[in-house]
Chains A and B, each alone.
Chain A
Amino acid sequence: MIWLVWRRHRLGILALTLLALALAVYLVIGSWPARAAYYQVTNGQSPASCYASQSTSTLCTQLTAQWRDTYDDPGDVLGWLGILIAPAVLGMFLGAPLVADELESGTQRLAWTQGVTRRRWLLTLIASEAIVALLLAGVVQVAVWYWLGSYPPDGNGFGAFDMMGMAPLAYVAFALMLGLAMGALVRRVVPAMLLTLVGYLAVRIPIVLYARPHYLPPLTLTWDPYVTPNPRIQPGSQDWVVSGGWLDSTGKPIGRGDFFARVFGAGGPRPGPNYCTPMGQPDANIGTDFNGWNTLCTHNYGWHYQTVWQPADRFWLFQGIECALFLALAVALVALTLWLVRRVLA
């Protein structure tokens, strides 16, 4: 039976293998210049030794700034896109046609009436495709770990959550089963592929934006920067600052636009001892940072600054939660597919 699966899907598997290898090679080779420059020694120092010793000497500041400007760009479009979209591509091209192809061309009438039961046939299909997909994803994942290793300052911790650890493999499992379920649901290959892509993004993005910050209650600090310029407990550089902003005297958040309107607006204070920032030089980080602000002004309004963060040591716990969530979704989608297939008459 496995032989049959391979015969039917070898073309797709080969094409996706080539694509996965290309992505892996791109990531590995693409990170070589950054890696080389990171260990490049200039006047006895390298960015690596500077980061390790946390030195603030002029040379170190210059070296690390230069390295960051040139290389430290995990926003690299191709790599990021590849990593974010790769699971969806596997789901679209490996998962969606699995059942939909059979239903669309009517061959399920033959395939599902042989000696093998429908359920067993389907489970074998799912298992073999899942193994192929996870193998491919594994190859890419090893390359991603190497790639991340080339950007040490930002290449670990919450900043790279979506690419680190086992979470990407859980995304692949989810995308594959989503493709499968969409195929069984709409029974047409091309619409199923499109729905897989849309569905994948529609689940992944809201989870990043709205669910992940609340896997565990975040730590919160609310203070008046005028009274306490330097609170004792603050998020560290490795912690994940989920949000930060000003609260008014009743504790309601002040939108960034409102903040400007209230500080500079028609009824607000004008230049003088009471203004919040020098006119014509709004702080680049307005609403997220109070550095450089005349905090007397915000104090007079009765405003407090609030920071909400997840400490760095929760990283692996969050990875576990995210993996469990996506694997549970994948299992639910398999159950849905089996139910659909049993209900759909051959």
Chain B
Amino acid sequence: MTWVTFRRFRFELVTLTVALAALAAWLIGTGLQHYAAFDVPYVGPISAAACARQIPQPQPNSECYNILTTYLNQFQGDGGNPLLSMLLSNTLHFLIALVPALVGAMLGGPLIARELERGTFRLVWAQGITRGRWLWGSVIAATLATIALVGAITLVVTWWSAPLDQIVGHFSGGFEMEGLVPLAYALFALALGIALGLIVRSSVPALFITLLGFFLVRSLITQLATQLYAYFMPPLTITYDSSIAVPPTGPQMRDWVTSSGFVDHFGDPVSQDLINGICGANDPTTAGNPTSACVHAHGWLYTVTWQPDSRFWAYQGIESAIYLALALAVLAVAIWWVRRRPV
């Protein structure tokens, strides 16, 4: 059964493989440049790679910290052209993170819909095997193909974004492009495609709605994520007098700072505008300037909330679980829908 599905989708599978191979070739080409620059000794024998490996992590304004900042600047945009800077920035990550969805949607949308729109299901369902077995055989084949294709490209992307992850951390780096979540995105898109194919019974509209639906769901969850994810695991917090020194127990370079700001001695937040209005426009978070001295005199403390980089896999698990649960829910709705109406 699985083999038949692979045969039915051979053109899709071949084009997807070719397209992903082209993407992988581009990633490997640019990745080699990243890695070459990563190992160049910048100051004396110190390379960016050595700085990224340093324990404890480099503190702001240290030599290693500056080397890493410079390394990043090399690969972040050229101010002259927004398209170019976009291609080298977060938007590129966003585009790469859409690739798994594209794979899932392309396989899922037509999986059942094509049989329905062409009427070939009449032949298929009148063969020796049951309808249920045919359905599950198709779904399993499509799932295996999705896992293989997305898994392969995710390995390349993970290698490609590793230098970035070693500098800014996995949360700000390649969170949505590596680990488990690309597979979860792809499987959700696959399930959405299969479900919509069953409901609208036509491949191209199913594919269209799947891509649109995926984009909306993912944008929505990402928006919520910036607010809610920060609290899925209790965040770490530190409150200190920033006019004296930054305590070493605060967030490190690679941690995900979810919020920061000044509070008064009741613990209520003090707005940046108020601070600038009263104490001037210097950076109040670094010691040794008039603004920070004035902040100290008012008794305002700096408070930072963060998730450590070491929780990367825990958060990958949470996000994957959300998308896999959505995938199962969408399939369940589709099966209920199909059972309810006569074919």
Contact = CB atoms under 8 A, between A and B. Distances in A.
B246 interface: no
A279 interface: yes
B83 A84 contact: yes
Given A75-B82, A75-B86, A266-B44, A12 B19 contact: no
Q: Which of A78, A194, A209 has the most CB of B within 10 A?
A: A194
B42 A264 contact: yes
Interface in A61-78: 62, 74-75, 77-78
B67 A256 contact: no
A177 to B, nearest CB: 18
A282 interface: yes
Interface stretch (A115-123, A153-161, A297-305, A319-327): A153-161
Interface string A208-238: 1100000000000000000000000000000
Contact of B205 (A12, A188, A284): A12
Nearest to A160: B82
B43 interface: yes
A254 B241 CA distance: 45
Given A190-B12, A194-B106, A264-B43, A15 B90 contact: no
Nearest to A265: B41
Contacts of B27: none
Interface size class of B (residues with CB under 8 A): 35 or more
B281 interface: yes
B140 to A, nearest CB: 20
A209 B84 contact: yes
A158 B83 CA distance: 10
Contact of A242 (B67, B80, B118): B80
Interface residues of A, number: 57
Given A160-B82, A193-B207, A198 B70 contact: no
B70 A75 contact: no
B63 A280 contact: yes
Contacts of A165: none
Interface string B277-300: 000010000000000000000000
Contacts of A19: 212
Contact of B80 (A93, A186, A241): A241
Contacts of A209: 84
A287 interface: yes
Nearest to A256: B74
Q: Considering the complex of A and B, which 9 residue pairs feature the smallest CB-CB distances, nearest first?
A: A191-B15, A280-B63, A257-B40, A257-B37, A282-B70, A264-B43, A198-B19, A260-B42, A191-B11
Given A78-B219, A158-B80, A191-B15, 4 more contacts: A75-B82, A162-B82, A194-B16, A261-B41
Interface of A: 11-12, 15, 19, 62, 74-75, 77-78, 80-81, 84, 93, 97, 101, 105, 154, 158-162, 186, 188-191, 193-195, 197-198, 202, 205, 208-209, 240-242, 256-258, 260-261, 264-266, 279-288
8 contacts: A80-B86, A81-B95, A158-B80, A186-B11, A193-B204, A193-B207, A209-B84, A280-B43
